[in-house]
Chains A and B, each alone.
Chain A
Amino acid sequence: MITFSFDREDYLFLDGGMGTQLQAAGIQSGEIPELRSLTTPELVQRIHEEYLRAGADMVYANTFGLNRLKLEGSGYSVQEVAAASAQAARAACGKVSAETGRACYVALDIGPTGRLLKPVGDLAFETCVDIYREVIQAAAPLCDAIAIETMTDPYEMKAAILAAKECCGLPILATVAVDESGRMLSGLEAEGVVALLEGLRVSALGLNCGADPRVLKPTIQRLLAAASLPVVLKLNAGIPHQAEGKTVFDMQPLAFGEMMKEYAALGVQGLGGCCGTTPQHIAALKSAMEGVPFHKPTEKQDTLLCSFGQWLKVENPVLIGERINPTGKKAMQQALRGRDFNWMRRQAITQEEQGAHMLDVNVGLPDIDEKGMMADVVRAVQEVCALPLQIDASKPEVLESGLRAVNGKAMVNSVSGKEDMLRDVLPLVAKYGGVIAGLTLDDQGIPDTAEGRLQIAEKIVDACLAHGIPKKDIVIDPLCMTISADSQAANTTLKALRLIKEKLGVKTMLGVSNISFGLPNRQMVNTAFFTLALKAGLDFAIINPGSDLMMSAYDATLLLNGRDEGARRYIQRQSGRDITVAPAAPAANAPAASPAGEHPLRYAVLKGLKEDAVAATRDALTSMDAMGVINDILIPALNDVGDDFARGTLFLPQLMMSADASAAAFEVVRGLLPTSSDGQGKGTVVVATVKGDIHDIGKNIVRVLLENYGFRVVDLGKDVDHDQVVAACLRENCRLVGLSALMTTTVDSMNETILLLRKACPQTKVMVGGAVLTKEYADMIGADFYAKGAMDSVHYAQEILGA
């Protein structure tokens, strides 16, 4: 058997829609089409034969929707259906090949699972990989290629590709479905799709199904401009409409053929049909393509990165936000140890708002499970932020964990000239895709000269190329030493930068803060060095985007380097920021005047005025101690707000604004609280939205209120497994757990969780709440307390934890 390859000398023709043909043959709505491979295999084989005779070189086996989720309760196994489908396709190929002398091929068709992956849905990434692995293992031996199609979620696409790569060596064709604007559902555009798929080393990529094919031209052009792999289009016969209760597509075979011919001329290598197409469409396609010259794909040189929703082409220097890194940062170390993922999320959002283009993620602490934590933090950040990420770790297994969890094509920081790192890390980059950063150091340390660093850079580049990592995906960090220890430190680094760019043609990166170690006004030195480096050809800079000086220097340097036409970007970012004007008088934002006799902090909380609350707290602390502020002002104010809410004279948003104001006040006070031996405040409460439920508004409200009242809250998030709740309870040694659920179906889940808690933590009380709950339900599932409203949970916590 000839091994099939997508790297061909002529057009590859694929088949058309299977679903439409089965419908024409009488399949009922509600029937599982893949089962026909077992119940009416002759019909399935006949459809394949018709497509092959019409001119298709490759048919997709009848496995599009096949997975164990869809087969549940059907009485059939994935293995038998997959094998039967591949068999039918194989038999058709054998028959037509013998008839015509043409080579005919079978692709295993992998479509979406029909479920959404976490965090939007409830399907875990690894479970998804497993689901796909089951199908692929069953049928791959009978197939020539794997065709992953109609994917609208990059994460699901990644799961399918990994499953395929991990259990068979067949070439992979990956096509996505985009909407009218040319985006996948997660928002990812053509360049991002190319970054993701080429990173994952598929053999061909493209578009199928999706929006009206007639509007796809711009997207196809963008895809071709970015892709170095063969591009395939498998498009619908126009758009569907309802006619006499049936779905009908509006593009006839001739028109379809003409459209595909026009697209082929743009530089595509493979063509076929999707929904609504028939053997007639494929025949018309084949006929229209008669004599059309074929062009192989060309290698593109852009460095591309992406997340699930954004892509990044390295043209102007890229700013990597450095704050999610525990090195020298107490707050991050605390957040890691306390599993405070909200802290990381806030860092991500803040850095994004400050202008970072990418985010570094580093969880290196000796006393934690780095591997698990890396995946958790990557997922937590991805939940709220669409910036591409840099996975930063010194251990290969931690890098792998991050690379597997990232939804997109990430930067990998780092390898060096050391043999073992190159040996262990480069294969990971080749498997998961990524841009690899190499540090110019080796077992002998960091070379003193620029030439010495260039030499290590050469070694790294050679090793990368040997692993199939192209130059465009290599970034070299020539490192910078401390200027106060070596007055040539900056010159050496800048010279190394220039040499590396000139001689090796790869991208460069620097973390600019080391240069100023030990000096006063470090920011000034860092910024000056930064601008020099940008001029010397720096492509990536790891910085703190919160440094206004650095960010402004970036804006100015970009402008001065001729990269800001009409100074548009500079003006937009820097308008109104003339530092020669005297700073605004402190009273410019005067706090709202509180009524005579009313403490300004109390007033700020009652009215929900966050900034005023912060200012008033600072003021109050000059004449009161921390506990006094909390117990005598904040808590009574919250109590009054809570009472008004319960009475119906104040509404939820106002309650929340007061809670936010109080939380801000509390932040100011927090650092001054007498720390008890375990930093527990008034006591620890674990809260979670139970397994199966992803609504967490109520839980979030309770969390904020409890924190305001001085409790330490460990928030496990939503859709939380029973054993995770128990584990947290044991780990925190806490005496109160709060569970929330919105749906009747998840009340069962609450029951499960409570049963487990009773066994493992018999002293712990459980309170429950949520829109669907009632006292009756709460009693039925064995809860200790039913919190009807948000304030009830606070009162119960005060009762139980003796505060």
Chain B
Amino acid sequence: MPKVGYARPFPQVPLKEVYRYMGYKGRTPGRDIQSRVEAVIEKLRGAAQPRLLYQRFPLVWQEGNAQAADFALQGQDVLNNLRGCREVYLIAATLGSGVDRLITRLALDSSADMVILQAAAAAALEEVLDQEEQAVKERLRPQGLSLKPRFSPGYGDMPLSMQPRLLSALSAPRLLGLSVTDSLMLTPQKSVTAFAGICPLGEERVTKRGCGACAKEDCALRQDKQQEEV
């Protein structure tokens, strides 16, 4: 039986992703920045306590609208993402409040390190989720099932007002120490909540995916199809 586990080891942080979050648009920074990135990742490793929580819920469709864990999913983009799914995973993950403290510490004397830390933390968190996603896909494969790309409140037209419902459905405040502010920001800062639809094996693709699904055309981190893999 898969355990609803919580603590995860700090992952191998993919440097390409760190550079992308730092705004390098596919380029690689010089050696001096690279070694700063390594040093910051080490600090992050000491401060982060990755924790992850997810639960499988039936997805109830009614006239093109979907409900999971007794609340309705809002926005066309998530409904598009989950098309064809009868079940969905609700996911919550965080790197913990130690990272918030490290961000504040670094901001005091080194803005460069602070910027790098932001990027590294985002990359680390995504990597924790990606690894878990892989593990879940392995378990689903013998059942002829797979996962759609994960979709979070705030993506596309899915409103942030979904956050509190998602968190309470998972008891995330109690189990992960992950909560949300009055203005719907996740706390601790480096945290993610998401939906991942369970679909038949082979049907993982969504018609619009990745940055293409998002309306912010002028985002500095936007990835184009033509992006070279460095």
CB neighbours of B112 from chain A (8 A): 608, 653-654, 656-657, 659-660
Q: How many residues of A sit at the interface, in one of the four size bands?
A: 35 or more
Binds B, one of A93-101, A112-120, A453-461, A627-635: A112-120
Q: With CB as the reference atom, state the residue of chain A lying closest to B37.
A: A653
Q: Is A427 positioned at the interface, with any CB of B under 8 Å from its CB? A: no
Check B24–A342 contact: CB distance below 8 A: no
Is residue B105 contacting chain A, with contact meaning CB distance below 8 A? yes
Contact B101–A121 (Cβ < 8 Å): no
| Contact, CB under 8 Å: B70 / A241 | no
Contact B97 A697 (CB under 8 A): no
What are the residues of chain B within 8 A of A346 when measuring CB–CB? 108-109
A345 close to chain B: CB less than 8 A: yes
Residues from chain B with a CB closer than 8 A to the CB of A700 are 107, 111, 114
Q: How far is the CA of A278 from the CA of B173 in the complex (A)?
A: 24
In the bound complex, how far is the Cα of B169 from the Cα of A30, in angstroms?
Answer: 7
B70 touches A384 (CB 8 A): no
B60 CB, nearest partner CB in chain A, Å: 12
Q: Are A30 and B69 in contact (CB under 8 A)?
A: yes
A449 to B48 Cα, complex, angstroms: 53
Partner of B4, one of A29, A186, A241: A241
Q: Is A651 an interface residue (CB 8 A)?
A: yes
Mark the stretch among B9-17, B77-85, B144-152, B179-187 that contacts chain A.
B179-187
A743 touches B70 (CB 8 A): no
Take A185-B97, A241-B3 as given contacts and tell me if A115 and B110 are in contact as well, using a CB distance cutoff of 8 Å.
Answer: no
Q: Which residues of A contact B193 (CB under 8 A)?
A: none
Nearest Cβ on chain B to A758's Cβ, whole angstroms: 22
Tell me the smallest distance from the CB of A143 to a CB of chain B, in Å: 23
Q: Which residue of A lies closest to B188 (CB)?
A: A120
- Complex Cα distance, B160 from A746, in Å, reads 12
SS class, residues of chain A in contact with chain B: loop
Contact of A242 with B by CB under 8 A: yes
A589 beta carbon closer than 8 Å to chain B:
no
B114 touches A697 (CB 8 A): yes
Q: Which residue of B lies closest to A212 (CB)?
A: B3
Which residues from 63 to 102 on chain B have a C-beta closer than 8 Å to any C-beta of chain A? Answer: 69-71, 96-98, 100-101
Report yes or no: A114 in contact with B107, Cβ–Cβ below 8 A.
no
Q: Which residues of chain A are within 8 angstroms of B114 by Cβ–Cβ distance?
A: 656, 697, 700
CA distance A377 to B104 in the complex (A): 15
- In the assembled complex, A745 has its CB within 8 A of some CB on chain B: yes
Residues from chain A with a CB closer than 8 A to the CB of B118 are 697
Using Cβ atoms and an 8 Å threshold, which residues of chain A touch B2?
241-242
A113 to chain B minimum Cβ distance, whole angstroms, is 8
Q: How distant is A69 from chain B, measured CB to nearest CB, in Å?
A: 10
Q: Which residues of A contact B183 (CB under 8 A)?
A: 122, 691-693, 743, 745-746, 749
Q: Given A119-B100, A242-B4, are A697 and B185 also a contact pair (CB < 8 Å)?
A: no
Q: Is the CB of A694 within 8 A of B189?
A: yes
Residues of A near B116 (CB, < 8 A) are 653
> Which of A114, A153, A243, A652 is B23 in contact with, Cβ under 8 Å?
A652
Interface size on B, residues (CB 8 A): 55
Per-residue 0/1 for A179-193: is the Cβ within 8 Å of any B Cβ (1 yes, 0 no)?
110000111000000
B111 touches A153 (CB 8 A): no
Evaluate contact between A122 and B181: CB separation under 8 angstroms: yes
From A180, A648, A651, A743, contact of B185 by CB (8 A): A743
* In contact, A652 and B115 (Cβ under 8 angstroms): yes
Kindly report which residue of chain A lies nearest to residue B87, judged by CB atoms.
A245
- Given the known inter-chain contacts A112-B174, A651-B23, please indicate yes or no for A701 contacting B181, CB distance below 8 A: no
Contacts of B174 in A (CB 8 A): 111-112, 114, 150, 152, 177, 209
CB contact between A349 and one of B56, B108, B160 (< 8 Å): that residue:
B108
A704 within 8 A of B: yes
A548 CB → nearest B CB, Å: 21
**Are A653 and B29 in touch, CB under 8 angstroms?**
yes
The answer to whether A653 touches B36, judged by C-beta atoms less than 8 angstroms apart, is yes
- How many angstroms from the CA of A701 to the CA of B182 in the assembled complex? 26
Contact of B96 among A185, A247, A694, A745 (CB under 8 A): A185
Interface string of A326-354 (1 = CB under 8 A from B): 00000000000000001001100100000
> Which of chain B's residues have a CB closer than 8 A to the CB of A187?
98
How far is it, in angstroms, between the C-alpha of A346 and the C-alpha of B105 when the chains are bound? 8
Chain B 127-151, CB-CB to A under 8 Å as 1, else 0, gives 0000000000000000000000000
**Interfacial chain A residues near B55, Cβ < 8 Å:** 242, 247
The reply to whether A121 and B187 contact each other, CB–CB distance below 8 Å, is yes
- A-chain residues with CB within 8 Å of residue B104 when the two chains form the complex: 119, 345, 383-384
Q: Is the CB of B111 within 8 A of A349?
A: no
As a 0/1 sequence over residues 686 to 704 of chain A, the CB contacts with chain B under 8 angstroms (1 = contact) are 0000011111110011001
Question: Does chain A have a CB within 8 A of B156?
Answer: no
Q: In the bound complex, do residue B7 and residue A114 qualify as a contact, i.e. CB atoms below 8 Å apart?
A: no
- With known contacts A657-B112, A660-B110, A651–B22 Cβ distance under 8 A: yes
Report whether A30 and B70 are in contact in the complex, using a CB–CB cutoff of 8 Å. yes
Q: Establish whether residues A383 and B101, one from each chain, have CB atoms under 8 Å apart when the complex forms.
A: yes
Q: Is the CB of B115 within 8 A of A653?
A: yes
Tell me the bound Cα distance from A342 to B118 in angstroms: 20
Q: How far is the CA of A243 from the CA of B179 in the complex (A)?
A: 26
Measured in the bound complex, the distance between the Cα atoms of B49 and A187 in whole Å is 10
| Interface flag for A240 (CB, 8 Å) | yes
Within residues 163 to 193 of chain B, which ones have a CB less than 8 A from any CB in chain A?
A: 168-169, 173-174, 177, 179-185, 187-189
Contacts A115-B173, A349-B105 known; 10 new A-B pairs at CB < 8 A? A29-B69, A115-B180, A119-B100, A119-B104, A121-B181, A122-B185, A152-B177, A342-B108, A651-B24, A691-B183
Which 8 pairs from chain A and chain B are nearest by CB?
A692-B183, A656-B112, A30-B70, A122-B181, A121-B187, A656-B111, A185-B177, A114-B173
Interface residues of B (CB under 8 A from A): 1-4, 6-7, 22-25, 29, 32-33, 36, 55-58, 69-71, 96-98, 100-101, 103-105, 107-112, 114-116, 118, 160, 168-169, 173-174, 177, 179-185, 187-189
6 interchain pairs, CB-CB under 8 A: A185-B177, A384-B108, A692-B183, A692-B185, A695-B189, A719-B181
